[in-house]
Amino acid sequence: MIECTISINDDAGNLYRVLLPELKECKTKRAKCLLKRQTNKLKIQIKAKDITSLKGFSNSVIRIIETYLKIRQLVKNDRINKKK
C-alpha cells in the first residue's frame, strides 16, 4: 500500500466543506481517500495499491484545491474593487 498525506493550514474549514461532497465516497478497489478535519488543519490521506492510482487521486484532490483557491482569490479581488 502506498500512502500520501496532504496537510492544509489555510482556510481548512471552508476547504473541508468544498472537498467533502467530492470525496465523501472516494473509494475504489485500488485506492481510497480520507478527510480528517482538526481545529485549524485539514489532512487529506490517500492510500493506494499502486502508484498510478495514487497519482490519479492526488491529481483530483489538487485540482479541487486549486479551483477553490482561484475562486477565493477572485472573490477577494472583487471585494477590493468594490471598495474603490
Domains of the chain, by residue range, sit at 2-83
pLDDT value of residue 45: 93
pLDDT value of residue 84: 65
pLDDT value of residue 82: 77
Largest Cα–Cα distance of the chain, in whole Å? 53
CATH fold label, 2-83: TATA-Binding Protein (3.30.310)
pLDDT at 2 over 70: yes
- pLDDT for 5-55, tens place per residue? 999 998 899 999 999 888 776 778 899 989 999 888 999 999 999 999 999
Q: Are 57 and 33 a contacting pair, CB within 8 Å?
A: yes
pTM: 0.81
Instruction: Give the C-alpha separation, 84 to 82, whole Å.
Output: 5
What is the torsion angle, in degrees rounded to the nearest 10, for the CA atoms of residue 66, residue 67, residue 72 and residue 78? 130
pLDDT value of residue 26: 73
